[in-house]
Amino acid sequence: MAGPEAALKILCVGGARPNFMKLAPLVRALGQDALFEPVLVHTGQHYDEKMSGQFFRELGMPAPAHNLEVGSASHAQQTGEIMKRFEPVLIEENPAAVVVVGDVNSTVACALVAKKLLYPVVHVEAGLRSFDRSMPEEINRIVTDAISDLLLVTEESAMANLYKEGIPQARVVHVGNLMIDSLYFHLEKAKNSDVISRLGITGAFGLVTLHRPANVDDPEHLAELMRALDWISQDFPLYFPVHPRTRAHLKNGNVGERIHLIDPLGYLDFLCLMFHSSAVFTDSGGIQEETTVLGRPCLTLRENTERPVTIEQGTNTLAGTTYDGIVSAWKQVRANPKIARVPQMWDGHAADRSLAALGSFLKNR
């Protein structure tokens, strides 16, 4: 009599902390299904304890089976090093499919290696487009989508983008947003964080994140952003968990008295601050999504966004990157706050739909 079929090994690749927030619910769902065996690979693209290790513990994720420990470098060096280190892992594990997430260098590097070795590639958060090819993330998205076999999308605009690029509809599945699965799963626990008392926050406050090279690498440009944030801080103090990239470029003279620079936070502490904040000012993609679901006003300090549903249905406002543009956008938000709707399928069950899509895909290969 034939024995039970072996579980299908799924290699799940992450390299930066937003990847882990999206992978956590999927890895959990895969691990609870006898059909699958998830194997987690951490490329080490982000390797600082507060930027990575703490996230694994807070998200309840297993320790990675493989840590490539790539670290920081130029885009070319980092991408190439990830490819070199990922190839032997892929050959050793011999999975049924490789899951890559988002738009970081780890995403495109591991997708390229897998595809050239003829392993199926599944791209989580496919089809998002800023239409700004000066952004490294945009190049990573376009390349990864072009070679992926199954494309799991978060919003309808992503589906339209992929169809325009000639991706067959049969390879695209609208599953919702895995990052929002993590938010719903951890929100009650996050509310119990003591981060507000630890920071001595009383009353209304705003939250700031900046990390994109276009915003933080040019001292004059960063100074202009900080000047706009200083103007906004007249309304309430701002708390700014400073990304290592940003801290390296900030000078004390750029920071107003009501802008409080704090160390990077863990996932639960940051989620707690976001939940209790009066507004969030960011250049992050994922935070645009989280603030939409939480109903918190979000000013995106960029000239474009790859997540238009957060503007069309959510609380997000594209503020640009100039002093005048940011101040004007904040005045508009203050005078006419947006009434948010939660986008379709951002309901905490994206992992279940992703699992179903993956099972159907592999069954029909």
Q: What is the domain-level CATH number for residue 201?
A: 3.40.50.2000
Q: Over the chain, what is the mean pLDDT?
A: 93
What burial class does residue 133 get, using C-beta atoms within 10 Å of its C-beta: 0-12 exposed, 13-18 middle, 19+ buried? exposed
Instruction: Note whether residue 182 is domain-resident.
Output: no
Asked if residue 145 and residue 63 are part of one domain, the reply reads yes
Task: Identify the domain containing residue 225 by its residue range.
Answer: 189-335
pLDDT at site 50: 55
Instruction: Note whether residue 243 is domain-resident.
Output: yes
Instruction: Note whether residue 184 is domain-resident.
Output: no
Instruction: Note whether residue 136 is domain-resident.
Output: yes
Catalytic residue list: 211
Instruction: Note whether residue 201 is domain-resident.
Output: yes
Asked if residue 144 and residue 80 are part of one domain, the reply reads yes
* Pairwise pLDDT comparison (49 vs 346), residue with the higher score: 346
Instruction: Note whether residue 293 is domain-resident.
Output: yes
Instruction: Round to whole Å and give the CA distance between 360 and 164.
Output: 24
Q: What is the mean pLDDT of residues 170-178?
A: 98
Asked if residue 143 and residue 70 are part of one domain, the reply reads yes
Asked if residue 236 and residue 170 are part of one domain, the reply reads no
Which pLDDT band, with edges at 50, 70 and 90, does 1 fall under? very low
Which pLDDT band, with edges at 50, 70 and 90, does 3 fall under? very low
Instruction: Note whether residue 199 is domain-resident.
Output: yes
Instruction: Note whether residue 2 is domain-resident.
Output: no
Number of structural domains in the chain: 2
Asked if residue 216 and residue 107 are part of one domain, the reply reads no
